[in-house]
């Protein structure tokens, strides 16, 4: 059991221990999982269409489209069959007709990990009461502000300052800071969006508790980790959406986002050593602006099996929602991974998202 713990511990702190100033790929990737039942049900397509309290995360320029003065949004989702918990909370409000602000908090964590380093005493006896538990969690707080442009009709601009805290029990922690910026433009039934994440190149500094790690690393013959720093390169998201009126009460919103990353070749649709592009598409059907049915496709990947064969995979997402008297309830099913097939009923580790929002004026 001690060996198992050491292996798990080394895996948990590996990303922190190997962080480099040379911009490691997938740095602070927990901030790209997504928030909100509506967004996750549509395959994370939001850059051009976000218009609620989650806009501080997806595109702060969307805060100018809030319909009420006070807006609260909460989300809980469980990833990898409930092993990891992803939680989100935000509050947003317009300051006047030309500006708005929001505060958002994100937590992604794995809790109750057993620390069995002291399970066996010096005489070789097992002591179960010596087991301690710890969490590995990533936190982020976003402070967002949006302003309506006076130069272009229908253009809104926004920015989010984010503070990052990452913790691996008593073994390591990190602090980071970065800035996102976005814009939205509406032209009739068309909606356009631009979101630039980490435009300042987010800096995250790691600190390791060498004393807590010394024995485990010495027994496994590994070098002790050093305090390091990692940089998160910018990511640019281009969004496009269009609303269609099917009947007097039924409407459809079709949207797509293109994610551009600049941290090396990724396993996405279009890739190169300089830039990679990951497209995702979403659809929302609305009846009387009260009942919603959603679907989306994202996370295109090409996987290699043990026999050397390759397969192209897409992640389907589904969601439903209801909105009445300022209260919104959104449910979504987003498949994080499927090792067997792309069939909906195949063996997978689906993620269930529950999102609740409330907006009011008084």
Task: Single out the residue of 156, 53, 174, 35 nearest to residue 99, CA to CA.
Answer: 156
Can you give the pLDDT at residue 127?
A: 80
What is the C-alpha separation between 248 and 235, in angstroms, rounded?
A: 39
**Structure confidence at residue 301 (pLDDT):** 85
pLDDT given for residue 72 in this prediction: 97
pLDDT, block means (10 residues), the chain with 362 residues:
38 38 73 94 96 96 95 92 91 96 96 81 76 91 96 94 94 94 95 96 88 72 76 94 95 97 88 91 97 94 82 91 95 66 48 93 84
3-state secondary structure of 11: helix
pLDDT at 236: 97
| Number of structural domains the chain divides into | 1
According to the model, what pLDDT value does residue 19 have?
Answer: 36
Nearest of 103, 86, 74 to residue 138 by alpha carbon: 86
- In this structure, the number of other CB atoms found within 10 A of the CB of residue 37 comes to 30
For residue 211, the domain's CATH number is 2.40.160.40
| Predicted pLDDT of residue 23 | 61
pLDDT at 197: 96
How far apart CA 115 and CA 120 sit, in angstroms, is: 12
The pLDDT value given to residue 10: 38
* Predicted local confidence at residue 26, as pLDDT: 80
* C-alpha 331, offset from chain centre: 17
Range of the domain at 268: 2-360
């Amino acid at each position: 059991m001690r060996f198992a713990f050491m292996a798990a511990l080394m895996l948990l702190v590996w990303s922190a221990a190997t962080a480099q100033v040379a911009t490691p790929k997938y740095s602070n990737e927990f901030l790209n999982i997504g928030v909100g039942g509506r967004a996750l049900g549509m395959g994370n397509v939001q850059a051009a269409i976000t218009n609620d309290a989650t806009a501080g995360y997806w595109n702060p320029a969307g805060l100018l489209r809030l319909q009420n003065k006070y807006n609260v949004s909460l989300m809980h989702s469980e990833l990898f069959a409930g092993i990891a918990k992803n939680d989100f909370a935000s509050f947003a409000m317009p300051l006047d007709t030309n500006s708005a602000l929001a505060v958002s908090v994100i937590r992604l964590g794995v809790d109750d990990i057993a620390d069995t380093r002291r399970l066996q005493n010096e005489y070789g006896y097992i002591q179960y009461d010596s087991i301690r538990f710890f969490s590995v969690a990533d936190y982020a707080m976003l402070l967002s502000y949006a302003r309506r442009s006076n130069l272009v009709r229908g253009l809104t601009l926004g920015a989010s300052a984010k503070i990052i805290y990452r913790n691996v029990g008593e073994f390591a922690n990190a602090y980071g800071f970065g800035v996102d910026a976005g814009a939205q433009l509406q032209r009739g039934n068309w909606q356009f969006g631009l979101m630039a994440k980490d435009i300042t190149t987010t800096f995250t500094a790691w600190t390791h508790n060498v004393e807590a790690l010394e024995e485990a690393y010495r027994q496994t013959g590994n070098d002790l980790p050093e305090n390091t720093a990692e940089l998160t390169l910018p990511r640019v998201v281009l969004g496009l959406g269009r609303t269609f009126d099917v009947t007097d009460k039924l409407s459809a919103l079709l949207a797509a986002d293109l994610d551009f990353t600049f941290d090396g070749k990724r396993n996405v649709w279009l890739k190169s050593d300089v830039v990679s592009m990951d497209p995702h598409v979403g659809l929302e059907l609305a009846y009387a602006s009260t009942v919603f049915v959603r679907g989306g496709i994202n996370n295109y990947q090409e996987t290699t099996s043990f026999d050397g064969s390759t397969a192209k995979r897409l992640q389907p997402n589904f969601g439903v929602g209801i909105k009445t008297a300022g209260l919104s309830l959104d449910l979504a099913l987003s498949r994080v991974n499927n090792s067997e097939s792309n069939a909906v009923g195949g063996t997978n580790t689906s993620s269930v998202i529950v999102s609740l929002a409330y907006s009011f004026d008084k």
